[in-house]
Amino acid sequence: MNASPPPSPTRRRRRALGVLALAALFGGVLSAPGAAADDEPAPEQITNGDFSAGTAPWWWTANAPAAVVDGRLCADVEAGTANPWDAIVGQNDIPLVAGETYTLTYTASSTVPLSIHTNVQMATEPYTTDLSATDQIGVEAAPVTHVFTATADRDAAQVAFQVGGGAEAATFCLDDVSLRGGAEPPVYEPDTGSPVRVNQVGYLPKGPKTGTLVTDATDPLPWTLKSADGAAVASGTTVPGGEDPTSRQNVHTFDFGAVTDTGDGFTIEADGQVSEPFSIRADLYDSLRSDSLAYFYQNRSGIEIDADLVGEEYARPAGHLGVAPNKGDTDVPCQPGVCDYRLDVRGGWYDAGDHGKYVVNGGIAVAELMDTYERTLTADGAESAELGDGALRVPEHGNDVPDILDEARWELDFLLRMQVPAGNPLAGMVHHKVHDANWTGLPMRPELDPEQRELHPPTTAATLNLAATAAQCARLYAPFDADFAAQCRTAAETAWAAAKAHPAVYASPADGVGGGTYEDNDVSDEFYWAAAELFTTTGKDTYRQALLESPLHGDADAAFPADGGMWWGGTAGLGVLTLATVPNDLTTDQLADVRAVVTTAADRYKQQTEDQLYGVPYAPTGQNYTWGSNSQVLNNMIVLATAADLTGEAGYRDAVLRGADYLFGRNPLNQSYVTGYGERFSQNQHHRFWAHQSDPALPHPPAGSLAGGPNLTAPTSGDPEAATKLKGCAAAMCYLDDNGSYATNEVAINWNAPLAFVASYLDDAGDGAGPDRACRVTYSSHPWSTGSTTTVTVRNTGTEPVTPWSLTWLLPGDQRLSHTWSAELAQHGRTVTATGLSWNRTLAPGASVDFGFNSSLSGPAADPGTVKLNGRACTAG
């Protein structure tokens, strides 16, 4: 019998890194149909038959793990299997036309002579063959050719090299696989559904409501908003916009922002077409906050994923704990020649579609999760309860620590483990990454990964990522775990010193076997980010001077590039956002300058949402949508959200909402890029476990998983799906919801992290009208030689009594309370909580309470920023 192998494993590579050879298995078939008239070569049906793009879309069975070695796909075939079909290398999705002649050619060798079966066949039972041949493979590479005629039309046949049945183990290597013949593959036409493009999740009642219509018409057209029962709710005319350069579509826009009716099932009718249904509700994004954060638990390494938290289909054993067939991560050696020690680097999050763990990618991701929490301490209207203990799907419930910090700690612990121990060369530096020695195929469950894990050389970029994130850790975890906070602070300052001593140690662009390179030869942005976090946490002048002397300080274009936004290789903006929002010891003028950097960048992004026909806050030069473009959109939305928090200006909030419209369906493809949200959402993202398209026994990605999005360079990136389907694509159309398209459809921790921040912001936005304030606080400090005296007045400006009341805020730098009066005050790290005494614990409408404290202080007293009464921000002054 002919056994069918698991559907195709693929590999992916990452933005700005180019394409790396993947470990794959093997056997390729380059398809090219038989000779055509006039000696024109017949169409090629095989993808990546020379393995120049790695292993995708080749697959192999678990007993024949493969990798690209010297340009060939080499599979290590186990000994002792009974039948040829017990070990296979193959490629699926091969189209065949009945009666057409095909020529299959390949070159192969084996370390032990092998008799293999070479089949072109159905990929499912009964595995009917169009070609079934026995080939003798020797130790010297030799070409093989077969000519056959297809016996039936097949949309998705399979080329299978059946290499099992040998008594001895062997390494079987393939190259130059080609299958020519049949018809030219059809030109790919994306299914974009309705030409009426809206946010398929919906709109906030008091927020902006805009959409886009794709049409050949040049004059305005009527539109009608209808409720679920078909009743007309509003109407108007479209505004012709001409050709959208990102899609080459002729489009109109329409605006129904005046509508405040709420409900589900609304549609827009225009030009004889009907949009996808959507809602108008204040709670649109309530579940997205928790779903986007659950992504991280499901990508944890080194822990069993519990069915009670994620459901049976997503549950799995712990990966990479040294339990066979895993070979890590509890005792991991360095690459040869890198170090002579081994480290326990268990834990952390798997980076993206593979099982690598990268410090520079983990750094920005965990920082943005911590930012999501820290915003609840500093921003008006930011709710902490939805991130608190028991609110999210994590196993650490009941420990009195906010769940989002429990999740972030899983990555922080890993980052700390990657620091070079004292007494070794480059002590205090941080290893850049840990991953498999060879690429693995797709699908691949993490607990079944058989590859050796390796530590890669320390780099300055990785070291500064730890310095920045550990400094932020030190201030955020102090109220919950003082020892851990102290460990983070020590690690951060040690890393800073090591980076200053070794300021130009870079990742090699050639270090791309088994994982991404993540090379970055400009670490000025990481130095700025780390200095900002360390200064905010410690108040030390060393870090203040590093900030002020940086050429990036005060430069909006450097922090938030006009051509994109923050990303793992451009992190200065993270430092700017911290300085702008978290109380610190900058002078009033210095703080104003930093906040001006944020609003300058936000003004640019806001203008993009107003000028672009799809309302997206992303306008790279030449429409050069990059790898992970959706994460760029989201990071720009974080800047807009921060500007809204700082200024209270509705225009910034509205720009964030227009960005959400783009992500959830108001885009050229009519595609929601977040799984489970909208009518037409991405569900085949590139991931080794969430690989239902490749193996129906595995699940789709869970709700809240962000797809990377359009990538103009995808057709030339080595992505086999993009190479065949996206040639010549317009920038915003360069996307495939395909498990094999790693250049457009990958998931990644540093893409879901800004989604989680934005989801929290959107949920906090409520109905879109902005937060209501029911209190006013006056905070007045009077410094003296070694400290200050502060008086606080809180007034209830609402209509209901507040009892008992609790006021929270952050103290700048290392300020410490020494004496208090008229309230119970407690300090944990930089967080201060004041509660009423028995005689003033109720704050009646219109009433006020005064209390005060003395504190130690070095330097001028600073504004504490946002002060919250029972979790709700108060008006200052």
The model's confidence at residue 35, banded by pLDDT at 50, 70 and 90, is very low
Closest of 724, 763, 718 to residue 742, by C-alpha = 718
Distance CA 877, CA 864 (A): 12
* pLDDT tops 80 at residue 864: no
Distance CA 105, CA 91 (A): 14
* Mean pLDDT score, 765-780: 80
Could you read off the pLDDT of 511-532 as tens digits, one per residue? 988 999 999 999 999 999 999 9
Residue that is written with structure tokens 């951060």 in the block: 492
Beta 875-876 vs 775-784: how paired, if at all? parallel
DSSP states of 91-111: EEEEEE-TT-EEEEEEEEEES
Catalytic residues: 354, 686, 737, 746
Give the 3-state secondary structure of 762-799: HHHCCCCCCCCCCEEEEEEEEEECCEEEEEEEEEECCC
What pLDDT score was predicted for residue 10? 30
Kindly state the greatest CA–CA separation across the chain.
Answer: 99
* pLDDT tops 70 at residue 27: no
**CA distances to 534, 792, 829 from 789, in Å:** 26, 10, 19
Could you read off the pLDDT of 334-359 as tens digits, one per residue? 999 999 999 999 999 999 988 999 99
* pLDDT tops 50 at residue 449: yes
Domains 196-280 and 775-876 equal at CATH topology level: yes
What pLDDT score was predicted for residue 859? 56
Burial 315-350 (b: 16+ CB within 10 A, else e): ebebbbbeeeebbbbbebbbeeeebeeebebbbbbb
CA dihedral sign, ordered 277, 281, 287, 290: positive
Closest of 444, 450, 518, 452 to residue 687, by C-alpha = 444
Please give the mean pLDDT across all residues of the chain. Answer: 91
Distance CA 801, CA 799 (A): 7
Model-level pTM?
Answer: 0.81
Distance CA 371, CA 288 (A): 17
Distance CA 842, CA 803 (A): 4
What pLDDT score was predicted for residue 785? 78
- Is 250 buried (19+), middle (13-18) or exposed (0-12) by CB count in 10 A? middle
* pLDDT tops 90 at residue 585: yes
Report CA 606 to chain centroid distance, whole Å.
23
Distance CA 825, CA 815 (A): 14
Which strand (E) or helix (H) includes residue 821? strand 816-821
For residues 734 and 711, is the Cβ–Cβ distance under 8 A?
A: yes
Class of domain 196-280: mainly beta
For residues 513 and 20, is the Cβ–Cβ distance under 8 A?
A: yes
Could you read off the pLDDT of 678-717 as tens digits, one per residue? 999 999 999 999 999 989 999 999 999 999 999 999 998 8
Q: What is the CATH number of domain 32-181?
A: 2.60.120.260
Distance CA 358, CA 360 (A): 6
Between 17 and 646, residue with greater pLDDT? 646
Count H helices, E strands: the chain? 16, 38
Name the CATH topology of 286-764: Glycosyltransferase (1.50.10)
What pLDDT score was predicted for residue 764? 93
Q: Choose the weakest-confidence range: 518-527, 669-678, 864-873.
A: 864-873
- Is 629 buried (19+), middle (13-18) or exposed (0-12) by CB count in 10 A? buried
Percent of the chain at pLDDT above 70?
Answer: 94
DSSP states of 255-295: E-TT----EEEEEEEETTEEPPPEEE-TTTTHHHHHHHHHH
What pLDDT score was predicted for residue 870? 83
* pLDDT tops 90 at residue 52: no
Distance CA 218, CA 224 (A): 19
Residue-range domain boundaries for the chain = 32-181, 196-280, 286-764, 775-876
Name the CATH topology of 775-876: Immunoglobulin-like (2.60.40)
* Mean pLDDT score, 744-759: 98
Which strand (E) or helix (H) includes residue 523? none
Could you read off the pLDDT of 789-825 as tens digits, one per residue? 899 999 999 888 999 999 988 887 678 888 898 999 9
Percent of the chain at pLDDT above 90?
Answer: 80
